[in-house]
Amino acid sequence: MGNIKERVAYLQGLTQGLNLSSHSSEGKLLINIIDVLDDMAEEFNKIQMVQDDLETFVESLDEDLSDLEEEVYEDTGAEDSVEMQCPSCRETVSFASDLLEEDDDVEVSCPHCGETVYDSALEIDVMDVDDQANRHVASDIRYGIHPGL
Protein backbone atom coordinates (compact mmCIF):
# COMPACT_ATOMS: atom_id res chain seq x y z
CA MET A 1 0.00 0.00 0.00
CA GLY A 2 2.88 2.32 0.69
CA ASN A 3 3.89 1.99 -2.95
CA ILE A 4 0.56 3.45 -4.13
CA LYS A 5 0.92 6.37 -1.76
CA GLU A 6 4.43 7.03 -3.10
CA ARG A 7 3.26 6.89 -6.70
CA VAL A 8 0.45 9.38 -6.01
CA ALA A 9 2.93 11.69 -4.29
CA TYR A 10 5.15 11.44 -7.39
CA LEU A 11 2.19 12.40 -9.60
CA GLN A 12 1.45 15.37 -7.34
CA GLY A 13 5.08 16.46 -7.71
CA LEU A 14 4.82 16.18 -11.49
CA THR A 15 1.74 18.40 -11.58
CA GLN A 16 3.54 21.02 -9.52
CA GLY A 17 6.68 20.70 -11.68
CA LEU A 18 4.69 21.10 -14.87
CA ASN A 19 3.08 24.23 -13.48
CA LEU A 20 -0.40 22.98 -14.30
CA SER A 21 -2.85 25.73 -13.75
CA SER A 22 -6.01 25.04 -11.80
CA HIS A 23 -7.63 27.61 -14.09
CA SER A 24 -7.34 25.53 -17.27
CA SER A 25 -9.72 22.64 -17.96
CA GLU A 26 -6.94 20.07 -18.33
CA GLY A 27 -5.20 21.28 -15.18
CA LYS A 28 -8.37 21.08 -13.09
CA LEU A 29 -9.01 17.56 -14.38
CA LEU A 30 -5.51 16.27 -13.62
CA ILE A 31 -5.34 17.91 -10.19
CA ASN A 32 -8.75 16.46 -9.23
CA ILE A 33 -7.81 13.00 -10.53
CA ILE A 34 -4.63 13.05 -8.48
CA ASP A 35 -6.56 14.24 -5.40
CA VAL A 36 -8.99 11.34 -5.86
CA LEU A 37 -6.06 8.94 -6.23
CA ASP A 38 -4.57 10.33 -3.01
CA ASP A 39 -7.88 9.82 -1.17
CA MET A 40 -8.12 6.27 -2.52
CA ALA A 41 -4.57 5.48 -1.44
CA GLU A 42 -5.40 6.78 2.05
CA GLU A 43 -8.53 4.59 2.18
CA PHE A 44 -6.51 1.55 1.03
CA ASN A 45 -4.06 2.26 3.82
CA LYS A 46 -6.90 2.39 6.39
CA ILE A 47 -8.39 -0.86 5.03
CA GLN A 48 -4.98 -2.55 5.30
CA MET A 49 -4.63 -1.45 8.95
CA VAL A 50 -8.13 -2.75 9.77
CA GLN A 51 -7.35 -6.01 7.96
CA ASP A 52 -4.16 -6.45 9.98
CA ASP A 53 -6.07 -5.85 13.22
CA LEU A 54 -8.75 -8.32 12.14
CA GLU A 55 -6.15 -10.99 11.34
CA THR A 56 -4.58 -10.52 14.77
CA PHE A 57 -8.00 -10.82 16.41
CA VAL A 58 -8.89 -13.99 14.47
CA GLU A 59 -5.54 -15.59 15.37
CA SER A 60 -6.16 -14.77 19.04
CA LEU A 61 -9.67 -16.23 18.82
CA ASP A 62 -8.30 -19.38 17.18
CA GLU A 63 -5.76 -19.83 19.98
CA ASP A 64 -8.45 -19.32 22.63
CA LEU A 65 -10.73 -21.82 20.90
CA SER A 66 -7.92 -24.37 20.72
CA ASP A 67 -7.28 -23.96 24.45
CA LEU A 68 -10.99 -24.35 25.19
CA GLU A 69 -11.25 -27.47 23.02
CA GLU A 70 -8.32 -29.03 24.87
CA GLU A 71 -9.98 -28.34 28.21
CA VAL A 72 -13.43 -29.57 27.19
CA TYR A 73 -12.41 -32.62 25.20
CA GLU A 74 -9.49 -33.87 27.28
CA ASP A 75 -11.80 -35.89 29.56
CA THR A 76 -13.72 -37.55 26.73
CA GLY A 77 -10.63 -39.39 25.49
CA ALA A 78 -10.02 -40.90 28.94
CA GLU A 79 -13.37 -42.72 28.88
CA ASP A 80 -13.10 -46.51 28.76
CA SER A 81 -14.42 -48.03 25.60
CA VAL A 82 -15.16 -51.47 24.27
CA GLU A 83 -14.30 -52.58 20.77
CA MET A 84 -16.22 -55.37 19.11
CA GLN A 85 -16.17 -56.83 15.65
CA CYS A 86 -19.43 -56.70 13.74
CA PRO A 87 -20.61 -60.25 12.98
CA SER A 88 -21.89 -59.18 9.58
CA CYS A 89 -19.34 -56.82 8.00
CA ARG A 90 -16.36 -57.51 10.32
CA GLU A 91 -15.79 -53.78 10.97
CA THR A 92 -14.61 -52.75 14.43
CA VAL A 93 -17.28 -50.94 16.46
CA SER A 94 -16.34 -48.91 19.57
CA PHE A 95 -18.70 -47.80 22.32
CA ALA A 96 -18.50 -46.70 25.95
CA SER A 97 -17.95 -49.50 28.43
CA ASP A 98 -20.58 -47.93 30.68
CA LEU A 99 -23.23 -49.33 28.32
CA LEU A 100 -22.33 -52.84 29.48
CA GLU A 101 -23.39 -51.97 33.04
CA GLU A 102 -26.72 -50.30 32.18
CA ASP A 103 -29.85 -51.68 33.86
CA ASP A 104 -32.00 -50.77 30.86
CA ASP A 105 -31.94 -52.69 27.62
CA VAL A 106 -29.12 -51.39 25.43
CA GLU A 107 -28.50 -52.30 21.84
CA VAL A 108 -25.42 -51.21 19.87
CA SER A 109 -25.64 -51.30 16.10
CA CYS A 110 -22.84 -51.26 13.57
CA PRO A 111 -22.63 -47.81 11.95
CA HIS A 112 -21.51 -49.41 8.69
CA CYS A 113 -24.14 -52.09 8.06
CA GLY A 114 -26.72 -51.55 10.84
CA GLU A 115 -26.35 -55.08 12.25
CA THR A 116 -26.71 -55.46 16.03
CA VAL A 117 -23.29 -55.83 17.64
CA TYR A 118 -24.33 -55.87 21.32
CA ASP A 119 -27.72 -56.40 22.93
CA SER A 120 -28.01 -56.31 26.74
CA ALA A 121 -31.43 -57.98 26.63
CA LEU A 122 -29.81 -61.29 25.71
CA GLU A 123 -28.89 -63.33 28.79
CA ILE A 124 -25.51 -64.94 29.29
CA ASP A 125 -25.11 -67.76 31.81
CA VAL A 126 -21.64 -67.82 33.31
CA MET A 127 -20.79 -70.33 36.03
CA ASP A 128 -17.86 -69.39 38.25
CA VAL A 129 -15.41 -72.08 39.17
CA ASP A 130 -13.05 -71.80 42.16
CA ASP A 131 -10.19 -70.81 39.90
CA GLN A 132 -11.02 -67.44 38.30
CA ALA A 133 -8.76 -68.24 35.36
CA ASN A 134 -11.01 -71.16 34.40
CA ARG A 135 -14.40 -69.75 33.54
CA HIS A 136 -16.94 -72.02 31.96
CA VAL A 137 -19.56 -70.50 29.73
CA ALA A 138 -22.82 -72.40 29.42
CA SER A 139 -23.33 -74.39 26.26
CA ASP A 140 -26.20 -72.17 25.17
CA ILE A 141 -24.01 -69.07 24.89
CA ARG A 142 -24.13 -69.10 21.13
CA TYR A 143 -27.82 -68.26 21.41
CA GLY A 144 -27.28 -65.48 23.95
CA ILE A 145 -24.54 -63.33 22.50
CA HIS A 146 -23.20 -62.20 19.15
CA PRO A 147 -19.95 -63.75 17.94
CA GLY A 148 -18.28 -60.32 18.00
CA LEU A 149 -18.32 -60.17 21.80
Q: Residues in the chain with pLDDT < 70?
A: 1-2, 75-79, 123-149
Model pLDDT, residue 59? 95
Give CA–CA dist 28/45, Å, rounded.
Answer: 26
Helix (H) or strand (E) holding 2: helix 2-17
Of 28, 37, 31, nearest in space to 14 by CA = 31
Model pLDDT, residue 60? 96
Contact 93, 102 (CB under 8 A): no
